[in-house]
Structure 1
Amino acid sequence: MAKRRITAKPKPKQSQIRLNLSSASVDYISEFSIQSTSEELFFNFAASLFPGNAPNEIVLPVHTRLAVNYKNAKRFHDVLSKVLKKYERQYGEIDISNIQQELPIEEKEKNVTTATLPKVKL
Structure 2
Amino acid sequence: MVKKRVTAKPKPKQSQIRLNLSSASVDYVGEFSIQSTSEEVFFNFAASLFPGGAPGEIVLPVHTRLATNYKNAKRFHEVLGKVLQKYEKQYGEIDISNVQRELPVEEKENEETTARLPKIKL
Class of the TM-score when normalised by the shorter of the 2 chains: over 0.9
Shift of 1:101: 5.4
Matched, 1:48 2:48: yes
TM-score (norm 2): 0.94
Question: Which residue does the alignment assign to 2:109?
Answer: 109
For 1:81 and 1:67, locate their aligned partners in 2 and report how far apart those are by CA, in whole Å: 20
Partner AA of 1:14 in structure 2: Q
Matched, 1:58 2:58: yes
Question: Which residue does the alignment assign to 2:10?
Answer: 10
Structure 1 31/64 Cα, relative in aligned 2: closer, same or farther at 3 Å? same
Could you tell me which runs of 5 or more consecutive residues in structure 1 were left unpaired when the two chains were aligned: none
Count residues in correspondence. 122
Asked if the contact 1:104/1:116 (under 8 Å) is kept, the reply is yes
Question: Which residue does the alignment assign to 2:39?
Answer: 39
Could you tell me which runs of 5 or more consecutive residues in structure 2 were left unpaired when the two chains were aligned: none
Shift of 1:102: 3.6
RMSD over aligned CA atoms reads 1.3
Shift of 1:110: 4.8
Q: Deviations over 1:41-76 (max 9, x none)?
A: 000000000010111110000000000100011111
Q: What percentage of aligned pairs have identical amino acids?
A: 83
For 1:13 and 1:105, locate their aligned partners in 2 and report how far apart those are by CA, in whole Å: 44
TM-score (norm 1): 0.94
Asked if the contact 1:101/1:118 (under 8 Å) is kept, the reply is no
